[in-house]
Amino acid sequence: MQKIMIVEDDPKIAEHLESYINKYGYVTIKAIDFENVMETFHEHKPDLVLLDINLPSFDGYYWCRQIRIESICPVIFISARIGEMDQVMALENGGDDFITKPFHPEVVMAKVRSQLRRAYGEYANQAVERVLETKGLQLFPERLELNFKNQTTTLSKNEADIIEYLMERYPRVAGREDLLEKLWDEQAYVDENTLNVNMTRVRKKFESIGIKGAIETVRGAGYRLNVIWQEADQQ
C-alpha cells in the first residue's frame, strides 16, 4: 500500500488528514519531531508528502528542498497562506501542488490520487527510457531532465509534463485546457493561477540552459514552443 507522510504541527489537522486518508486505504505517517523531518522521511520512504509551510524550527520550504535533494516523490503543500507569492514559493522550492486551509478532504484526496497516478502510474517504470528531441533540445521524461548543448537542468514532474506536451504539439499550439487536463486529473480543484505559475517555472528552466523566449503565449489559445535557438544557430 502507498504511504502518505503528513508534516503538520497542528495535531487536530494532522489527525483529521490521517483519519480521512486511511479510509481510502493509504498508510499514513505523521511527523512528530519537526527538527528532524528527514529522519522520518528516510525511515518510512513515503510515496507522497503533505507538507505545511508554517512549522517549528524550519519552514515547509526548507524541508521540501531537503526532500528534493534525494527524492522526486510528490510534495503537496497545505497552508493557511493564500497569497499568490506563497504558491510561487511553494512551487519554486520543489512542490508539486498547493492546497489552502481551510480545505475540503475530498479536494485533498483528489490531488493526492492525481499526484500518485502521475508519479507511479503505468508509464512511470518503462523499461526503455524515452527521449524527446526537438531541434537539439532533449527531454528525458523519466529522468526529469532537460538538455541543450551539454547543459542540463533538473525538472519537477509538472515541468517535465508541460515541456513534453509542448514538444509533442510543436509547431502547433498547446491549449490551456489541454495542458490542465494533462497535468491535473481533477481540474475542478485547480486554481486558475496554477498553470501560470508552472509556466513561469518552465520558462526559467529553459533560461537556465541558455534558451530565452522558448515559450510563446498565444492569446486566447494557449502556448507554443518557440524554437528560436535554431534561428540563432543559423545566423
> How confident is the model over 131-156, as pLDDT tens digits?
899 989 999 988 889 999 989 999 88
Q: Which residue has the higher pLDDT, 82 or 62?
A: 62
pLDDT, position 235? 44
151: enclosing H helix or E strand: strand 151-154
Whole-number CA gyration radius for the chain? 18
**pLDDT at position 92:** 86
Phi and psi, residue 97, nearest 5°: -160, 170
Decide: pTM greater than 0.85: no
What fold characterizes domain 132-234? Arc Repressor Mutant, subunit A (1.10.10)
Q: Tell me the per-residue pLDDT of 1-29, one tens digit each, with 9 for 90 and over.
A: 899 999 999 999 999 999 999 998 999 99
Output helix, strand, coil percentages for the chain, rounded to the nearest 5: 45, 20, 35
Give me the pLDDT at residue 179, please: 86
- Residue ranges, CATH 3.40.50.2300, the chain: 3-120
Task: Write out pLDDT tens, residues 161-208.
Answer: 899 999 999 999 999 888 887 776 554 455 657 788 889 999 999 999
Per-residue pLDDT reduced to its tens digit, 38-51:
999 999 999 999 99
- Buried/exposed code over 49-88 (b: 16+ C-beta within 10 A; e: otherwise): bbbbbebeeebbbebbeebbeeebbbbbbbbebeeeebbb
- From-to residues of CATH 1.10.10.10 in the chain: 132-234
Q: Which CATH architecture has domain 3-120?
A: 3-Layer(aba) Sandwich (3.40)
Higher pLDDT, 125 or 227: 227
CA dihedral 82, 88, 89, 91 (to 10 degrees): 110
Summarize pLDDT for 67-113 with one digit per residue, the tens: 998 888 999 999 887 777 888 888 888 899 999 888 899 999 999 99
Q: For 208-215, what is the mean pLDDT?
A: 93
Answer yes or no: are the C-beta atoms of 112 and 186 closer than 8 Å. no
**Residue 59 pLDDT level (bands cut at 50, 70, 90):** very high
User: What mean pLDDT comes out for the span 119-124?
Assistant: 65
Q: DSSP alpha helices (H): ranges in the chain?
A: 11-23, 37-44, 60-70, 84-92, 105-120, 157-169, 176-183, 194-208, 228-234
Round to whole Å and give the CA distance between 56 and 35. Answer: 7
96, 115 in Cβ contact below 8 A?
Answer: yes
